[in-house]
Structure formats: C-alpha cells, structure tokens
Amino acid sequence: MSETIRLGILRLSDAAPVIVADEQGFFTYQNLTVQIIVENSWQGIADKIGFGLIDGAIMPAPLALACAAGLTGRKTDIIVPMATSSNGCAITMAKGLQDEFNSLGIRGLAARRKLHFGSVHAYSMHDLLLRYWLAANGVDPDQDVEIHHYSPSEMIGSLAAGALDGFAAGPPWGQVAAHSGLGFIARKTSEIWQNHPEKCLALRADFAAGDPARVRSLVTALRDACATCAKPTRREALATVLSRHEFVDLPPAIIATSLDPANGGPIFNQNYPIPAHANWAAMQLLRWDKAPDSIVGAAASLYRPDIYIASGGVKPVIEAEVFCDSAA
C-alpha cells in the first residue's frame, strides 16, 4: 500500500477542507502524506476512483452512491466516513429571464418554451435538487425542460453562449454568473432543503480496509479542517488560498461571497454521515428512473458513522433531519 493518500477534488469553494488540511498541517499532524489531485469533472473523479488512480475524493453524496452501485462505470465498493459540507449550491438562470421569472415563476416560464438547464452530473445533489424544485413547482424535469450535464467550470461559458437558460452548480459558479451580469440566482439549494447534504469524503473500501487507523486519522484531520473552514474570521484568508491558480483560480472576493452561509454558502461543520441522507438520494434516483431497485441496498451500506465516531467525531442529538419542502 502506498504511503501517500491520493484525494481528488474539483475547482470548487467547498473543496476547502482538503486544501486547508494540507496547507495548515492537519494532515501532517496526523502523520499523513496526502496528494491532492484536481480534476475538471465529476465523471473524471468517478473514473479515477473506479480504476484505483485515486484512493478517495470529496464528491457529491449521490455520486458516491452511484459509484458503489456501478452506475457511473466500473462498480467500486465505496464507503463514506464523513460529510464535509452542507448547502452551498444554487440554481442560476440567465439574466435576460429575470423579469419573466419574477412575474411568472418557473412554471410559467417553462410553459412558454422548453428551457435548457445544466447540471454538474446526473448523480449529484445539484441534479436531484434541481429536479425536486422543478417538480414541486409543477414542471416535469423529464418532459418540460431539458437537463444537460457539464462540468461546473463550463456552466458560465454555456450560459454566455445561450446554450443554457440556467444551471445548478456548486460554489462559486452561481456567484460568478451573478457578478459577471450573465445570470441571477433563482434559488439557493438551502432554500429547497435547509442544511441538505452536499459533499462527502468517499473512499475506496479496499483502501479503507487496508489501514483502518489511517482512515480514522484522515477523518480526524478533515474534521479539524472543516472546523477551521467554518470560522467566519478565517473566510477571507480561505478565499485567498482557494483563489490560487492550482485551485479555484478566481478572484478572492467572489470566492469569499460564495463561502458565506448568509449567501447560501457551504456549512462545513456538520460532518456526521447520516444514513438517512443516502437513503433519500437512493429514493430520488429511483423516482427519476436513474437507478435499479438495488440502489437501496447500496445506500444502506454506504455511510459509515461508526468510523466517524471512532475518529473522535460526535453523533448529533438529532441524527436525521426532516426534509423541508419549501421549493414552491
């Protein structure tokens, strides 16, 4: 087994815990050597974890479930020992549609013509919450609109070119669209489901089984990094680190805005992996015919709160939050 842990991330604000753990020595304190591998798309992450080119990644919870069920390519045993962020994403629409959206709502807008939305991956909270929001407003996401899949960084160009009327993506891409005048944030995903699960630490099960103590140390380091990312006083410094070319490569001010929970930004310190969240994702994938019935079994074994607790994490008083339907 390699002494170096290879972790994949995308160029997103909510990849911050891995970057902070590396930059501020949380990995080193736990005697870990971690190589951060920056990918351009979630499918690239899924492929690399499937072929063993990375040991784990920060990824949307439904994508971890899809990898475990073999829905993205090679079937790969996956475990999720912790969540790394909640909230943070947004449904952004083209600026030219803002007046119509404000007067007609999404249902009225979709009745006028077929809208084209972008989503970062078919198996992501972005896609599932976009579909949930559309359906709650009387718009059939499979009939009344078209949903295309692009990497997060491609959304802005697609919106500018007129290929998309809107998109669902993680931070800071909604803020980039709004800052540039290309778009406006129609809904923060936290308005659809407050404190919804977003990113998690997903690990290959064979890697985790090979050295359980090292996995516990990894969870501890990332939990400490999440606590640091959650501090408002550290937001500007964090934005400066994330703005570097090798990471998000955008102005710090935009990243700082995307990190603010008041703007719907990610919450980093809700780290207990709640099994009911995996089950919710499985039920939504079934709802939209994106998975076979066996997805329920994959969801049941995906989240590993036992590892989280063994690493020193604490189980919340209320383990599973009730889904709050405020989409309409």
Percent of the chain with pLDDT over 70: 96
Q: 180 is written with which tokens?
A: 């540039």
Q: 236 is written with which tokens?
A: 């500007």
Q: 268 is written with which tokens?
A: 């980093």
- Is the bond preceding 172 in cis, omega lying within 30 degrees of 0? yes
**Tens of pLDDT, residues 287-327:** 999 999 999 999 999 999 999 999 999 988 765 454 544 44
Cβ neighbours for 141, distance < 8 A, ≥ 6 positions apart: 130, 131, 134, 135, 147, 288
Q: What are phi and psi of 143, to 5 degrees?
A: -120, -40
Average pLDDT rounded to a whole number, residues 95-119: 97
DSSP assignment of 228-261 equals HHT-GGGHHHHHHHHTSTTTT-S-HHHHHHHH-G
The pLDDT score that the predictor gives to residue 316 is 85
Q: Does 4-86+197-310 match 90-192 in CATH topology?
A: yes
Average pLDDT rounded to a whole number, residues 98-126: 97
| Superfamily of domain 4-86+197-310, CATH level 4 | Periplasmic binding protein-like II (3.40.190.10)
Of the options 3.40.190.10, 1.20.120.10, 3.30.2010.30, 3.40.640.10, the CATH number for the domain spanning 90-192:
3.40.190.10
**Tens of pLDDT, residues 237-292:** 999 999 999 999 999 999 999 999 999 999 999 999 999 999 999 999 999 999 99
**Tens of pLDDT, residues 164-204:** 999 999 999 999 999 999 999 999 999 999 999 999 999 99
Pairing verdict, β 4-10 and 33-39: parallel
- pTM for the structure as a whole: 0.95
**Tens of pLDDT, residues 5-15:** 999 999 999 99
Domain positions in the chain are: 4-86+197-310, 90-192
